[in-house]
A and B are shown apart, each in its own frame.
Chain A
Amino acid sequence: MFQVSPSGTTQYSSDATMPRTVISVSQLGKRYGTTVAVDEVSLDVYEGEVFGLIGPNGAGKTTTMECVEGLRRPDRGTIAVLGLHPQRDATALRQRIGVQHQEAHLQKRIKVWEALDLWATLYPGAVDTDALLAQLGLESKRNAWFMTLSGGQKQRLFVALALVHDPEVVFLDELTTGLDPQARRAIWELISGIKARGKTVFLTTHLMEEAERLCDRVAIIEHGRVIEMGTPAALVERHCPQRRVVFTTDATDAAQSFHRIATLRSIHSDGATHTLEGTGDDFVTDVINVIAREGIRVRGFRTEIPTLEDVFLKLTGHGVRD
């Protein structure tokens, strides 16, 4: 594990039950020429959570994140990160946040260890870079040039650079875009590890599966506006309460028994396969109870629960990758 630097973390006066707000964005707006990149974004990120900004490409995710990091000056709105102003307090803030940019590169011929060593020089209280390399599975690539790394290795190096000074808040912009599923899974484990160490993670992604797996809370952003915010489960519950059970049985009149379930919406039978649709968390349990009570012999049984992807589709009317 990482060595935790003795300095850095400040004491907070808020009581234990209220999570401390680490990032506070209020009515952020940013345009490039006549293009409105961010129309109006307000959000709070709490200490120790993984917060995801999700939406299609061009929705304003990266611009929002870069305003928060202090890399861009917003046209309007206020931002506070760890109580600091991203631009006025840029120097102090950079010591306490770690960033990874979308589609970033390093010098083609910089070696992995040189990059980490350079970054470590720039921050007081940097962690042991060798331990960091080992933890990210890059120790065999220590002397490799950046240009020879695979996509997943490059991203892991960028994560390492974001973590080298043991920051309190970590910003990750489209971290797994373009990676194969295996590399993606490795990165996910890394992020879970960052969260486990008490860091706050602010990430953007257009992969709903990624958001659902990693994020404690998400904000769905489209056309520069936050259109919905909450835990992935709450969003699914709110917008896509329907549940579906598909089972196969040889019992001929099996379908009749389910009409007593109050939350049932429809039954569709196709030969031995029956598809039941209903709403609410209890629906699946109700179906199971009926099956048990009636003694229906079931050969196959599966449930289809909506995901964040369905929520997104419903809220925006299009898929996230359209």
Chain B
Amino acid sequence: MLRGLWKLTWVETKIFVREPMGLIGTIGMPVVMFIFLGRTFGAAMPSADALRSPPFNVPILSAILIAINAVTSLVAIIAIYREGGILKRLRATPLSPVTILSAHVIVKLVFTIVSLALLVMAGRRLFPGVMSVPLFSFTAALLLSTLSILSLGFIVASLVPTARFAQPISAAVFYPMVALSGLFFPLARLPLWLRVVANALPTTHAVSLMQSVWNGGGWTGHWSDAASLVIIAGISSAIATRVFRWE
């Protein structure tokens, strides 16, 4: 059913582009945040000695927001599609359930790349000198992170009662994850139980992996983060296939 997958992915891409609010919100917002925070705090890495060092890693926060926005957008789309019977209608076709959901994942990953490209282009213009990023490697890290959080998104999408609640519920689930990701304060400062929670969340490993790659440290030494993201994606997908509601 590969033909169906590409056609559905293409149609969903066009539909996504036709909604200006969705486009600006999910693609543009992280870039705007990046520019704003970069202007305020600087886009360089935080460091202990520099007096005017930013309080947190602005590029990584922006990148993780790209992933989170992709996920909340997915949750909202699933909720709307379910409420309108669109998922049910698609499921009555020869399309397999996995194909229907994969199309949405692909669309989200594609726009994640677009958003990252915009961010890097803006960074190179506005903050010269701090944007020497290994692009290919970083894109791969961001895509893996997004995929892992997306699979969690399918579980959240199953819990959302109606489309109206999609936005607030996914915000309530995913923004605290960012807060706990180690971006704003070292995880070592947390009590043990919260550290355990943080380590079970994809965002924590995403931040750790992306920070290393951004700094030129590469994936070496962070394979455990990458593995964690893959494992979380696997477990979430397995749970999602059980709890996912089509109507």
Q: Which A residues are closer than 8 A to B by beta carbons?
A: 69, 71, 91, 94-95, 99, 101, 103-110, 114, 117-119, 121-123, 145, 161
Contacts of B89 in A (CB 8 A): 101, 104-106, 161
With A94-B93, A94-B94, A121-B7 known as contacts, the answer to whether A71 contacts B15 (CB < 8 A) is no
Chain A residue nearest to B12 in the complex (CB) = A107
Within 8 A of A (CB), among B73-117: 81, 84-86, 88-89, 91-95
CB closest chain-B residue, reference A111: B14
Count residues on chain B whose CB falls below 8 Å from chain A CBs: 22
Interface contact A110-B15, CB-CB below 8 Å:
yes
Q: Is B8 an interface residue (CB 8 A)?
A: yes
Other A-B contacts than A104-B88, A105-B86, 17 sampled, CB-CB below 8 A, are: A95-B94, A101-B89, A103-B85, A104-B86, A105-B85, A106-B84, A106-B86, A106-B89, A107-B86, A108-B15, A109-B18, A109-B19, A110-B15, A117-B7, A122-B1, A122-B4, A161-B89
Do the beta carbons of B85 and A119 come within 8 Å of each other? no
Partner of B14, one of A91, A114, A161: A114
**B86 and A122 form a contact (CB under 8 A):** no
Q: Which A residues are in CB contact (< 8 Å) with B18?
A: 109, 145
**Which chain B residues border A71 with CB–CB below 8 Å?**
88, 91-92
Closest to A105 in B: B84
A123–B88 Cα distance when bound, in Å, is 17
A106, A114, A121, most chain B CB atoms within 10 A: A121
A101, B95: Cβ atoms closer than 8 Å: no
State which of A106, A109, A122 has its C-beta within 8 Å of the C-beta of B95: A122
Instruction: Give the complex CA separation of A29 and B8 in angstroms.
Output: 35
Cα-based distance from A122 to B3 in the complex (angstroms) = 8
Q: Known A109-B18, A118-B7; judge A99-B84 contact (CB<8 A).
A: no
Cβ of B140 under 8 Å from chain A? no
Residues of chain B contacted by A94 (CB below 8 angstroms): 92-94
Whether A121 and B86, one on each chain, are in contact in the complex, defined by CB atoms closer than 8 angstroms, is no
CB within 8 A of A107: which of B1, B81, B91, B92? Answer: B81
Tell me, in angstroms, the Cα distance from A19 to B203 when the chains sit together.
62
Contact B11 A101 (CB under 8 A): no
Closest 7 CB pairs of A and B: A105-B84, A109-B18, A104-B85, A121-B7, A109-B15, A94-B94, A99-B92
Task: Check if A119 sits within 8 Å of B93, measured CB to CB.
Answer: yes
Q: Which of B1, B11, B81 contacts A114 (CB 8 A)?
A: B11
Q: Does B92 lie within 8 Å of A101, measured CB to CB? A: yes
CB distance from B90 to the nearest CB of A (A): 9
Sample (10) of A-B pairs whose CB atoms are under 8 Å apart = A94-B92, A94-B93, A94-B94, A101-B85, A103-B85, A105-B86, A118-B11, A119-B93, A122-B93, A122-B94
Contact, CB under 8 Å: B11 / A110 = yes
Closest B residue to A121 by beta carbon equals B7
Cα-based distance from A106 to B15 in the complex (angstroms) = 11
Question: Which chain A residues border B85 with CB–CB below 8 Å?
Answer: 101, 103-105
Whole-angstrom distance between the Cβ of A168 and the nearest chain B Cβ:
15
By a CB distance below 8 angstroms, the chain B residues around A95 are 94
In the assembled complex, how far is the CB of residue A44 from the closest CB belonging to chain B, in whole angstroms?
Answer: 23
Structural contact, A121 and B3, CB atoms closer than 8 A:
yes
A145 to B11, CA, bound (A): 12
Taking CB as reference atom, which chain B residue is nearest A158?
Answer: B89
What is the distance, in angstroms, from B55's C-beta to the closest C-beta of chain A?
41
Chain A residues with CB under 8 A of B92: 69, 71, 94, 99, 101
Chain B residue at smallest Cβ distance from A91: B94
Chain B residues positioned under 8 Å from A161 (CB to CB): 89
Cβ of B4 and Cβ of A121 under 8 Å apart? yes
Q: How far is the CB of B5 from chain A (nearest CB, A)?
A: 10
